[in-house]
Amino acid sequence: MRIHLQSLPNDPRFRLTPDLWEAAAARAPDVSAGHVVTFGDTVPSWREAAPEVEALVTQAAMVGQLVPLGAPRLRMVFCTSAGLEKLAPYDWLPPGVALLNNRGTHAAKAGEYGLMALLMLASHVPAFATAQRASEWRPAYGSVLAGQHVVVVGLGALGGSVAGQAKRLGMRVTGVRNRVAPHEACDTVVGMDALDELLPQADMVVLAPPLTPATNGMLDRRRIALLRPGAGVVNMGRGALIDQDALCDALDTGHLGGAVLDVFTPEPVPTGHRLWTTSNLIMTPHVSADDPATYNPRSLDIFLDNLRALRNGQAMPNRFNLDRGY
Amino acid sequence: MRIHLQSLPNDPRFRLTPDLWEAAAARAPDVSAGHVVTFGDTVPSWREAAPEVEALVTQAAMVGQLVPLGAPRLRMVFCTSAGLEKLAPYDWLPPGVALLNNRGTHAAKAGEYGLMALLMLASHVPAFATAQRASEWRPAYGSVLAGQHVVVVGLGALGGSVAGQAKRLGMRVTGVRNRVAPHEACDTVVGMDALDELLPQADMVVLAPPLTPATNGMLDRRRIALLRPGAGVVNMGRGALIDQDALCDALDTGHLGGAVLDVFTPEPVPTGHRLWTTSNLIMTPHVSADDPATYNPRSLDIFLDNLRALRNGQAMPNRFNLDRGY
């Protein structure tokens, strides 16, 4: 197969290099041999490769510009991102070309970030950071995670990994997802329609679903009010999952005990935005799932897993469903 | 045996109540029956009990005032603290009376706090908190803990528990303690004299030894300079283990990547102290090991474990060594 790996210009940290490809190929010798593989990071380099390319590996940030330039033999586009909602509508994608994401790449780092956020909520770190900003010593005793009840919305690579970490530390884990089916890390799995009755029972809520019309704004002002006084919120999905202003209100009034947010509306959060001074809030700049040391290696492993499935006549596990949006 | 449990006045959260005693007694029926047990929280209540008391259970904050008031039959004093260095010199303790601490009570919570701190360092949360104070979006990619090298100084209940959590997430763990002997959670255990050659190899250092003349100021300016650029520091022991001013310098200049500190000199940290505005530093107000929901139950379990050892003619495992200071 003719494979082309196109990096962003001026992005040394996430560059898809021949070394990375060769290392991934060595890990999957059964499916990596016999291909012609090229690399580029400029539009001219793409134009040069495009007439022959059958599989394109690139970042979501540029795929919508590259593909419409024409690639008559293109069969599959593998994006090194999991959430591809910004690429909708998908009319830039020629009919019959498979779009794939790198779902699974983020699991290890995201699981550790989620565990960290739960531990920070149990130890009141968001409140202590607020006290630190005010130069005030304000002790408050925390708790261990064991026995506490966490609700994890979304049980994909991110949410599933967080659920697993929470379970290992003895938490009671309730998962929420569209398809109500058991999950190894969850004591219970319920559908999105059970969320209203679940929220008042949660000590902590972790949001990690894809952003779709069904999840957009799911944690709105009404549902935030359903949470227990002192409950904690973690968002690792997308900023638009939450009514951000309602969340800030609930943190500033003290209804919620704390929040750890990695995603926001908009990003970057502009200077002067109320988020920066909201009480009992820890912010990280959309980095919860990204580990440069393992990101591209894992993405390429997943790409090769999908090539193997294609060769074996199986469905490609990372094929993105354009209709459901994940 | 005549046992008296004396609480601090006006401390409802950590009160040693008859309910707590009865619950602990039910967990250790072999050793809890047949005693006369009394409770108090005032000096008069202690004066009333003192003539008969053989075992006193109380907080370190008051034991030095109570015992000198006289208790002729006293055989043992159990303090619901682990670090008793503030009670030195121990001349208030009558000869032959055993002093015990509650070493072990703090293990679960301290282990989770230490794990949280390591995860925060790996995800650059101290730097993000500094950026948040400045209302600035400053992304920086983190890493997973697996494969990173943590040095844990002190392998008692606190350090041992942190080492176990770090090992479970795949870290390389080197333990440092006086008595060089293997530890189940450590890949290697070395003596304090190996610290200088160890520090340049550490991604993160956790301090959790008792404060003694030998550990006082152990992480001084010279040793901080031995740490790798970008390394992280966690202190869960006592503030005086570190040259605090040198640490603040290393954080402000960016030599260190971050620090998570639970203990300080002095406490409470006064308003206006440079700690409050030091870069890349997360501060918690000496709460890393305290979990009110489990603190007194665990302390009483440990007290009863020691009563059992005494009855069986064994050495009491929590007897405090006045000479070595832990």
Inter-residue contact B62 to B83 (CB < 8 Å): no
Inter-chain CB proximity A138 and B282 less than 8 Å: no
Q: Which two tokens stand for residue A295?
A: 């990101």
Give the pLDDT band (50/70/90) at residue A179: confident
Is residue A212 a contact partner of residue A240, using CB atoms and an 8 Å limit?
no
Considering only CB atoms, which chain A residues are within 8 Å of B268? 137
Say what the pLDDT of residue B285 is: 98
Which residue in chain A is spatially nearest to B272 when comparing CA positions?
Answer: A135
CA distances from B291 to A123, A143, B9, B24, B112 (A): 9, 5, 20, 17, 11
Tell me the backbone φ, ψ of residue B295, rounded to 5 degrees: -60, -60
Give the pLDDT confidence score for residue A13 in this predicted structure. Answer: 84
pLDDT at B154: 97
What number of other Cβ atoms are within 10 A of residue A299's Cβ? 27
Please compute the mean of the pLDDT values over residues A28-42 and round it to a whole number.
96
Q: Are B132 and A276 an interchain contact pair (Cβ–Cβ within 8 Å)?
A: yes
Residue matched to tokens 């890493």: B143
Which among B4, B106, B238, B298 is annotated as catalytic?
Answer: B238
Q: Is A208 in contact with A150 (CB distance < 8 Å)?
A: no
Sign of dihedral through CA atoms B1, B2, B8, B11? Answer: positive
Cβ of residue A15 closer than 8 Å to a chain B Cβ: no
According to the model, what pLDDT value does residue B290 have?
Answer: 85
pLDDT at A291 over 90: no
Q: One-letter amino acid identity for A292?
A: P
ipTM: 0.84
Minimal C-alpha gap between B130 and chain A (Å) = 9
Instruction: Indicate the residue type of A162.
Output: V
**85-144 of B, contacting A, C-beta below 8 A:** 108-109, 112-113, 115-116, 119-120, 122-125, 128-129, 131-133, 135-144
Query: Residue A173: its pLDDT value, please?
Result: 98
pLDDT at B53: 97
A189 CB neighbour count, 10 Å cutoff: 20
Asked if B15 is an active-site residue, the reply is no
Task: Please give the domain boundaries of chain B with CATH numbers for all domains.
Answer: 2-105+294-311 (3.40.50.720), 107-283 (3.40.50.720)
**Catalytic residue, candidates B267, B274, B311, B324:** B267
Instruction: Inform me whether the C-beta atom of residue B265 falls under 8 Å from chain A C-beta atoms.
Output: no
Q: Measured in Å, how far apart are chain B's first and last C-alpha atoms?
A: 26
- Token output for A243: 């009514």
Helix then strand count (H, E) for chain A reads 11, 12
Spatial CA neighbour of A254 closest among A226, A280, A273: A280
Identify the CA nearest to A4 among candidates A25, A21, A29.
A21
For tokens 């009570």, what's the residue?
A: B105
List beta partners, residue A78: A57, A100
Question: Is the minimum CB–CB distance between A269 and chain B shorter than 8 Å?
Answer: yes
- At residue A322, φ and ψ (nearest 5 deg) are -65, -30
B286 catalytic per annotation: yes
Question: B284–A128: do the CB atoms touch at under 8 Å?
Answer: yes
- Alpha helix (H) residue ranges in A41-156: 43-49, 60-66, 107-122, 125-133
Confidence (pLDDT) at B74: 97
- Residue ranges in chain B whose pLDDT is less than 70: none
Per-residue pLDDT tens digits for B121-148: 999 999 999 999 999 999 999 999 999 9
- What is the per-residue pLDDT across A78-107, written as a single tens digit (0 to 9) for each? 999 888 989 999 999 999 999 999 998 889
Distance from CA of B248 to the nearest CA of A (A): 15
Q: Is A238 a catalytic residue?
A: yes
DSSP bridge pairs for A232: A204, A258
Catalytic member of A267, A274, A311, A324: A267
Beta bridge partners of residue A37, listed in sequence order: A3
Residues 6 or more apart whose CB falls under 8 angstroms from that of A154 comprise A176, A177, A207, A208, A209, A210, A215, A237
- CA quadruple A279, A284, A286, A289: dihedral positive or negative? negative
Compute the residue count for chain B: 326
- Burial (CB count within 10 angstroms: exposed 0-12, middle 13-18, buried 19+), residue A91: exposed
Predicted confidence (pLDDT) at residue A180 exceeds the cutoff of 90? no
Mean of per-residue pLDDT scores for chain A: 95
Q: Which two tokens stand for residue A202?
A: 């949660």
How confident is the model at residue A290, as a pLDDT? 85
Model pLDDT, residue B130: 98
> Looking at the predicted structure, is the pLDDT value of residue A253 above 90?
yes
Show the CA angle centred on residue B146, arms to residues B140 and B148, nearest 5°: 70
Identify whether the C-beta of residue A28 lies closer than 8 Å to the C-beta of residue A81.
no
The C-alpha atoms of residue A103 and residue A158 are separated, in whole angstroms, by 9
How far is the C-alpha of A73 from the C-alpha of B158, rounded, in Å?
A: 61
Cβ-contact B207, B154 below 8 angstroms: yes
